[in-house]
Amino acid sequence: MSDLISTPEGADQEPLLDTLLREAVPEIKLALGDLIDRENQRAIPDRYVKILPESTLVVTLRPDAATAVQPIAAELERELTDSCMRHGSLYDRAYRVRLRAAATPGAPLFRVATRRGDEPEPEPFRAPAPEPTPRPAIEAAPVAAPPIPTGPSTDAVASAPTANETVIAARPPEPVREPVPEFELVPVPEPEPARPSRPAMPAVDPDATRLDGFAPQGSRFDAHRFALVVESEEGEERERFPIPGAMSTVGRQTDNPELAADVAITNAPHVSRRQLALVWAPRGEKVGFTVYNVGLNPLHVNDHEVAGANRSRGELKLDELMDGHTAWVGPGTPMRIGEHGPVLRIDDLRAGDSPSAAAADEPAAEPEPEVEIDPDATRFG
């Protein structure tokens, strides 16, 4: 992973933040999960588990990676903390995650560790300040060498009266000095204070991993269009829930907030706390959802039985489920959980698309008038 994200960004490369979200964040989650599993390998008595304090897991990022995730550092800490909370619920432990920036550029891309009890609380995450750019040295202008003194000319030596007379060379002419130009002092206006520029928002890569855990495909999902209807085996409507998002979970009611589903069905003892996952997946002009059976009981869709993956605990990873645990359904398709229900169906609330809305808007058919038969008429055949 460090070799993959070690090259600097270029004109033809994607931003480092998108690469981190798509490739590094899943690796960090796996490393945190392995760290939690190693910590809980030794059995701890139940009476001590409840009094254990909340543990802090520290993720140390390389300086360039820390600078890239600075705009979304708080959201990334919350996402990693939620993931560790769900994983730690398997051991009845609570974890939270804090981010740090490495001190040296040669550090690995990320490193996970547990904060010991004697260590101070990690400081709030701050990306390392960029090193100042060294200013180029000002080259000094070459200094002209002093003129080399010359001896007397040949004519001066020849005109000397005696050989022992000292001949003094003529003084070299003075260099011509250019007049110093006079400058007029002009007051320089004070520079205006620079306005703080807003940090550039990171570009969104459609293929990058989202912090919410899933990116819907196909056309845009309308949160006010579909509803999940709960019916009894006799076809009587019991409950109706709006489908809140493009990826929603369905299960029975529970007091554990970490295992609660988006749609909680009441009076359903045969339904797992997290039984189904509905993912918006239209097929061309047909609207519909891909249903993942992550609970224990099988799901009956028409004449097809979808086996349960029994993954109602821990982090929900839909990409690991095989085709034997999924089915595609459209509005109005009945889905029965287990042998004794309840029966679910997705209702399209858009005018004219919902079976119930169409039945309510359609006027009642008038009875055909009865035709009187003459008993004395001639019959053929």
Instruction: For residue 286, give the DSSP letter.
Output: B
Output phi, psi for 208, to 5 deg: -80, 155
Cα dist from 161 to 83, 166, 168, whole Å: 111, 10, 14
| Averaged pLDDT for residues 108-123 | 75
Q: State the burial class of residue 109 (Cβ atoms within 10 Å of its Cβ: 0-12, 13-18, 19+).
A: buried
**The amino acid at 232:** S
Query: pTM surpassing 0.85?
Result: no
Cβ atoms within 10 Å, residue 244? 15
Per-residue pLDDT of 146-186, as tens digits, reads 666 566 666 665 665 555 555 565 666 777 777 766 656 66
| 89 φ, ψ (degrees, to nearest 5) | -65, -20
Task: For residues 164 and 198, give the distance between their C-alpha atoms in angstroms, rounded to a whole number.
Answer: 88
Instruction: Tell me the pLDDT tens digit for each residue of 23-76.
Output: 999 999 999 999 999 988 877 776 666 667 788 999 999 999 989 998 998 999
How far, in Å, CA of 262 to CA of 308, rounded? Answer: 19
pLDDT, residue 333, reads 92
| pLDDT number for residue 146 | 62
Closest CA to 172 of 145, 153, 144: 153
The answer to whether residues 247 and 214 touch, using CB atoms and an 8 Å cutoff, is: yes
H or E stretch including 239? strand 237-242
Question: Pairing state of beta strands 226-231 and 237-242?
Answer: antiparallel
Residue 106: phi and psi, rounded to 5, are -85, 5
Rounded to 5°, the CA angle 314-282-322 comes to 40
**Extents of the domains making up the chain:** 16-114, 226-361
Q: Which residue has the higher pLDDT, 336 or 144?
A: 336
Fold classification of 226-361 (topology level): Tumour Suppressor Smad4 (2.60.200)
